Amino acid sequence: MRPTSHTADVVCNDVKNEEKKKFLYTRGGICQGKSGWVLCPLQTQLEPLALFPPSASRPDSEHRTPLAASPSSPARCSSAVPAAAAVISGPGGGGGGAGPVSPQHHELTSLFECPVCFDYVLPPILQCQAGHLVCNQCRQKLSCCPTCRGALTPSIRNLAMEKVASAVLFPCKYATTGCSLTLHHTEKPEHEDICEYRPYSCPCPGASCKWQGSLEAVMSHLMHAHKSITTLQGEDIVFLATDINLPGAVDWVMMQSCFGHHFMLVLEKQEKYEGHQQFFAIVLLIGTRKQAENFAYRLELNGNRRRLTWEATPRSIHDGVAAAIMNSDCLVFDTAIAHLFADNGNLGINVTISTCCP
C-alpha cells in the first residue's frame, strides 16, 4: 500500500472539504492496494449516507461524462429515476421499499451509474487503474476505460464501493416506466425478471420476432406484424391444428376473444427429449399476471370414445410459454395420443375460457 495522489471517485469527488482531503492524503488515508481503493478507518466507520452530507455538491460532472456511449444503450436518463425510498439497510438487510426518496439517496445511487449504459455498477465492482468504475457488461466490450482511456486490466476490485453498494437500496431497472420499488442489489435481478413494468415481448412462440413494447401495444403489433393469426370470438371455440404430422418443431397459434380480453392459444410440437416428439398446448392472456388470475381455461381432446382434459389459469404473455413448456405446466401429449384424436392429420382442441369468482 502506498499513499497516492490518485483517488477513487468515491473519495476524490465527494470529499469536498479541502482540509479533510488534505488530512486524508497526508495521513495516507486513501491508498490503492492490489484489491482496489481502500478508505482509511476514519472513513469506513462513517455511515454510508454520511459520506455525502446534504451540503456536499454533486461529483464533478466532467468526471462522469462518458467518452464513448454505445448507441444501443438503454435510454435511461439518470434524472428520470423517480423518487424512491431512501432506505439504507444493513448488509444483507434486504427487502424492497417504495415511497419518497431523499436527494442524498439519489446522489448516492447515482455514484454507481455506469458511464456507458447508465445502469448501476454492482458487485463485483471493478475499476480502471485510475479508479473509474464501469459495469461488468460494458467492461467486457471495452478495451480501455471510457472515462480516462486508461487500462482496464489487470482487474482491480473496489471493495469499499462494494460495501457501500450492499448498504444501499437501488431503484428497479424499470423505474422510468413506473416501478417504484427499491431493492438490495442481490435482489434486483430476480425482481426485474418478473417486474410488471418490464416491457412486453412479442408473445408469438419462436424467437424470430424481436418486438418489445407496452401491454397496450401488443394487440396492434400482432394485428400488423402477424396478420396470419386468426381470431375467433367466444368463450368456447375449437382450435383446429392442421397437418400435425409436419416434421420438426412446429407452432400453431390463434387468438380467442371473450370477456373483453384477448387470449392466445398455442400448440407447439417439439422434441424436448431426443427422438420423443411431444405436443404442448397452452393459453396465454394478453394481459398482466394479475389479470390472468381472474380466468381459467380448459383444453380438451375429445373423440373416438376418449377424452383428455387440462384445466389451469392462463399464463400472462409477460411470462411467455417457454418456462411452462419446460416444466410441462400445460397440456402435454405425445404423437401417439395425438393420432388417437386426430382426423386426417388435423387435431381439434376444444378451448373453453371461464372467469373465476374472486
Residues that bind Zn ion (CB under 5 A): 114, 116-117, 128, 130, 132, 135, 138, 145, 147-148, 150, 172, 174, 179, 181, 195, 202, 204, 209, 211, 225
Least distance in Å: CB of 8 to Zn ion? 10
**Nearer to Zn ion by C-beta: 222 or 338?**
222
**Beta strand pairing status for 231-233 and 250-258?**
parallel
Handedness of CA 191, 112, 107, 41 (dihedral sign): positive
In whole angstroms, the minimum distance from the beta carbon of 119 to Zn ion comes to: 5
Name the residue nearer to Zn ion (CB basis): 49 or 87. Answer: 87
Amino acid at 162: E
Measured in whole angstroms, how far is the alpha carbon of residue 14 from the centre of its chain? 31
Q: Quick one: 138 or 160, whose CB is closer to Zn ion?
A: 138
CB nearer to Zn ion: pick between 114 and 266: 114
DSSP class per residue in 183-214: E-TTTHHHHHHH-TTSPEEP-SSSS----EE-
- At its nearest, how many Å lie between Zn ion and the CB of residue 117? 3
Q: How far is the CB of 212 from Zn ion (least distance, A)?
A: 9
Min separation Cβ 97 and Zn ion, Å: 12
In the structure grid, which three cell numbers stand for residue 7, read together?
483517488
d(CA 7, CA 160): 12
Note the helical H segments in 73-194.
103-110, 136-141, 159-166, 188-194
Q: What distance in Å separates the CA atoms of residue 287 and residue 293, rounded to the nearest whole number?
A: 10
How far apart CA 165 and CA 188 sit, in angstroms, is 12
Q: Which is nearer to Zn ion, 195 or 338 (CB)?
A: 195
Min dist. Cβ of residue 276 to Zn ion (A) = 30
Cell of 200: 412486453
Least distance in angstroms from the C-beta of 357 to Zn ion: 30
- Alpha-carbon distance of 318 to 202, in angstroms, equals 9
When the beta carbons of 225 and 340 are compared against Zn ion, the nearer one is 225
**CA-wise closest residue to 291 among 188, 223, 189, 218:** 218
Closest CA to 48 of 207, 218, 179, 162: 162
Nearer to Zn ion by Cβ, of 174 and 297: the residue is 174
Residue with cell 402435454: 332
